[in-house]
Amino acid sequence: MSNISSLAFVHPEAIIGKDAIVEPFAYIDRNVEIGEGTVVMSNSTILSGARIGKNCTIFPHATISAIPQDLKFKGEDSMAVIGDRTSIRECVTVNRGTASRGSTVVGNDCLLMAYSHVAHDCVLKDFVILGNATQLAGEVEIDDFAILSGGTLVHQFTRIGAHTMIQGGSKVPKDVPPYTMVGREPLTYVGLNVVGLRRRSFSGEQINSIQEIYRYLYQAGYNITQALERIENELPDTPERNHIIAFIKNSSRGVVRGNMEG
């Protein structure tokens, strides 16, 4: 049985999973689905189009699936999808999608800290952390295990690679390649996210291989095209190498600069 407070508003068409908890003064709209074991705390607001997974926690004053802050939005049906075991802290806002993609998606095991904002049509994969007051513009994509420290501002359409770490207070106008740390003003590559990679059981050999790839890209004096050509021709064929090459080749905004570039 779900534990729904009599002081909460839950639309009769909303679907609330087994063992979910809805605390007093929460608001749950029509066309909402909430998975088993999820806790919706007091004064949180879950609006039409929300699909929330199992064993999540929605903290007070969070708002999930409000309409996009996008003047092109014309009231079309869309969703905000939250995966399993994700924690959405106080005053977080996750807007639903537009006709562009149809859904805003936050993956499994994510942590969205207080006052962070996820705009329309963003896609966050699994184990992503958004620090306090981090703000994502529309259609941002963030890959697994990325960490955006507090107060980060991300431009629309930007892509952030897996296992990255972004310095707090950063403005992110370009794509951030996987496995890297970026910071400073303007934003630049400052090294590998070595601590994060070790925590996720990357071997020393893998880390050294990734380091060599980024030496070609950012420290050997090549432009991006030259660096990619030499990486493909001179460095071992590994999953990490191929992931980095594919990410950069598919970057429409271009990737962040290196700290040795003028």
Question: 198: part of which helix (H) or strand (E)?
Answer: helix 194-199
The amino acid occupying position 227 is A
The pLDDT, as a whole number, for residue 261 is 46
Give the Å distances, CA to CA, from 215 to 55, 122, 260: 42, 31, 11
pLDDT level of residue 1 (50, 70, 90 thresholds): low
Tell the residue number behind the tokens 């962070």, with chain if given. 116
Residue from 129, 134, 171 nearest 151 by CA? 134
pTM over 0.85: yes
- Give residue 93's identity as a one-letter amino acid code: T
Give Cα 156 distance to the centre of its chain: 13
Pairing of strands 159-160, 171-172: unpaired
Give the pLDDT confidence score for residue 259 in this predicted structure: 74
Whether omega for the bond prior to residue 60 falls within 30 degrees of 0, making it cis, is no
Active-site positions read 120-121, 138
Residue 2 reports pLDDT greater than 80: no
Residue 148 has what pLDDT? Answer: 98
- Residue 34, beta-bridge partner list: 16, 52
Q: Which residue in 41, 48, 43, 2 sits closest to 23, CA to CA?
A: 41
